[in-house]
Structure 1
């Protein structure tokens, strides 16, 4: 048996891995900033040469004149498009996000295009699971094991197949049938398209929800289960707190990941056995994993979400009264409860920067 390496080589290895990890993080950040920069500068043509024209179509249809949550409907449509684009979703999915709900939907009447054949032709010309959080987390763990085994040519163990049985029972490989909203006819929706709808809903919620919807839908437990509809007692915009929607989209993200993994395993098995994939599965739809919630593998606890939001809100609203040190402590605790919110990290970073600037100012005064 070879002797263990000297401690200095272990230190070197650890430092090398740390530098490599930091380099990867820096690269990902640069890529993210690169994709965000055209939106920040309003250079829509740099995102897609057709985007300015599409926005003009929406503007001409009156999207900018319709109120929507915290802005106009046009603002929201662009916001959803921006999120999907930065998540590297396929162009077709991004365009669908840009025109989503343009015929109206079950919740809001924002029909900027008539849901008639003529209206749909217009848009077409431009656009070309109730589970517990613990069960979802366990399914994510099992699915990762299953997927790795399939990729390495190994067989799944019996207990590892439970998540696949659950996903297949909810959303089988052949897709699901839903009723047409107008005619009542059965419409087959492929499993890949179901996954895309989940992805778009995540982006949709991310762009628009805040505490007003929590009051409106009686979301006191933070799970966004639409348990109420307090339209008569909810006054917009309310107190303006951040919304309690992240537990909901983290569960959507987990289900999305499970569908993506099941799709890969299904396709691998079918091709390995020499079977042709059936038609109508929307194989041309690429299922990308958004760079959120650790690659859509973390389910945020609903209670942690509430605690994090309340700590953040108290810190930013009462920092002058409580003092910066106390506010910084509360922000740090907030980040620990919910590390997936950039705003929390940004605020905490401002405190760190401010403390450093204050120390430098005091030092210059002493030296001067």
Structure 2
């Protein structure tokens, strides 16, 4: 068996563990002072994709924190849609009258990033970055209402990193349909495509956006952008691509196992499907986590440990879940159970005893 499993980086995992505490944001010296003002705008009551707006903002900030981004970029993540934008009508601060208030709260540099991120065309930005339309110095030229606007190299790097975190936190199959072909989204009539509109749909992981995130990350290797910000630890520190066809096939294989669309009497078919999913897309943890459990069920503890370590590495690298059916911390918790069982060489023989498993360290 040769699979592209990743070794678990203890330092990265330790950083991720600190973010498993629900109170991590309240303890963050940079973000905690801003939180009461944000929460006072009822972000915990607003719907947003796979959760609430609060869930989304905190999730984006969590990835950016795990990626060791500087204060202004992490604040951009926490506040990235508060002035509203072309994608959402959630206006929590009025850009015409409240910029001064937000500047006083977070500082001019952070507020400037938030304002630009909300008011410039993010679809156009992503299109130009993916098309390689980055100037030699790292800047990107955008057009808005006939006006030319130049994003500085630092702004470009910040917008790329936050776009990566923003996408991984929220995107799942429902958006694959309603925002099909993003960033060039065709306008389709809702009534005709009513089945695609039903929220939340099957909650299948996205079959197309990881490859786009990988391409955005690779843009950080542009000579004009290198060294401006810490490179996210995903896709081998943004050095490796993910082919769109490989992503789509890997998602289909994974979801077929989750939906049990294969022979169920023995483990061989499901195991082979997940192994192929990992070969095609080794950058997310969920397929490797499920594979680790199959290995445990087959008595393959050494293989299970490798798969669980690799899954934990992926979860730690992202700071968010790819499969949105449960939250990131739950995926991490179950993977740690699998890793513990693989290390100790034990796994319940009785089905009901799975209810008893617990983490001991």
Q: Normalised by the size of structure 2, how large is the TM-score?
A: 0.68
Give aligned pairs, total.
278
Please state how far the C-alpha of 1:78 moved relative to its aligned partner.
0.4
Q: State the secondary structure of the residue aligned to 1:89.
A: coil
Match of 1:226 in 2: 185
Partner of 2:269: 326
Secondary structure, in 3 states, of the residue corresponding to 2:224? helix
Determine whether 1:79 maps to 2:59. yes
Q: Which residue of 2 aligns with 1:239?
A: 202
Q: CA deviation at 1:296?
A: 0.7
Q: Structure 1 residue 179: deviation in Å?
A: 5.3
Q: Pick which of 39-48 and 84-93 moved more.
A: 39-48
Instruction: Please report how far the alpha carbon of residue 200 of structure 1 lies from its aligned counterpart in structure 2 after TM superposition.
Output: 0.6
Q: Distance in 2 between matches of 1:240 and 1:32?
A: 28
- In the TM superposition, residue 132 of structure 1 has moved relative to its aligned partner by 12
| Residue in 2 that maps onto 1:13 | none
Q: Deviations over 1:165-221 (max 9, x none)?
A: xx6x6324283454567xx765442122112101110110000000001111234xx
Q: Is the 8 A contact 2:44 2:54 kept in 1?
A: yes
2:76 corresponding residue in structure 1: 96
In structure 2, the CA distance between the partners of 1:344 and 1:263, relative to structure 1 (3 Å rule), is same
- In 2, are the aligned partners of 1:217 and 1:230 still within 8 Å (CA)? no
2:101 match = 122
Secondary structure in 1 aligned to 2:233?
Answer: coil
**Alignment partner, residue 270 of structure 1:** none
What is residue 301 of structure 1 aligned with on the other side?
Answer: 243
The residue that corresponds to 1:66 in the other structure is 46
| Residue 37 (str. 1) matches residue 17 (str. 2) | yes
Q: Does 1:170 align with 2:149?
A: no
Find the aligned partners of 2:346 and 2:15 in 1 and give their Cα distance: 35
Go from structure 1 to structure 2 and tell me whether the alpha carbon gap of 1:318 and 1:257 turns closer, same or farther (over 3 Å shift).
same
Range with bigger deviation, 340-349 or 228-237: 228-237
Shift in Å, 1:339: 0.6
Separation in 2 of the partners of 1:54 and 1:112?
13
Give the match for residue 292 of structure 1: 234
Quick one: distance in 2 between partners of 1:96 and 1:350? 38
Report the more deviating stretch, 68-77 or 87-96. 87-96
Identify if the C-alpha distance between structure 1 residues 122 and 356 changes in structure 2 by more than 3 Å, giving closer, same or farther: farther
Alignment of 1:1-368 (within 5 A): 25-26=7-8, 29-44=9-24, 48-117=28-97, 119-128=98-107, 170-173=134-137, 175-178=139-142, 186-219=148-181, 225-229=184-188, 231-232=190-191, 233=194, 234-244=197-207, 245-258=209-222, 261-263=223-225, 286-318=228-260, 321-322=263-264, 323-356=266-299
Kept in 1, the 8 Å contact 2:164–2:213? The answer is yes
Alignment match, 1:366: none
Deviation at 1:337?
0.8
- In 1, the alpha carbon distance for the partners of 2:129 and 2:155 equals 24
- How far, CA to CA, are the matches of 2:234 and 2:300 in structure 1? 32
Q: Find the structure with the greater CA-based Rg.
A: 1
- Does the residue aligned with 1:262 lie in a helix, a strand or coil? coil
| Alignment partners' CA distance in 1, 2:237 and 2:210 | 14
SS at the partner of 1:311?
A: helix
| Structure 2 contact 139–150 (Cα < 8 Å) conserved | yes
Q: Distance in 1 between matches of 2:274 and 2:104?
A: 48
Normalized per residue, the structure richer in helix is: 1
> Contact 2:253 / 2:277 at 8 angstroms: preserved in 1?
yes
CA–CA separation in structure 2 for the residues paired with 1:76 and 1:132 = 24
1:171 aligned counterpart, secondary structure: coil
TM-score of the two chains, using structure 1 as the length reference: 0.67
Q: Identify if the C-alpha distance between structure 1 residues 319 and 174 changes in structure 2 by more than 3 Å, giving closer, same or farther.
A: closer
Secondary structure of the residue aligned to 2:220 is helix
Gaps of 5+ in 2: 108-125, 302-344, 350-361
**Aligned equivalents of 1:97, 1:25: Cα separation in 2:** 29
Change (3 A) 1:199 1:333: same
Within 2, Cα distance between the matches of 1:361 and 1:305? Answer: 31
Whether contact under 8 Å (2:263, 2:269) holds in the other structure is no
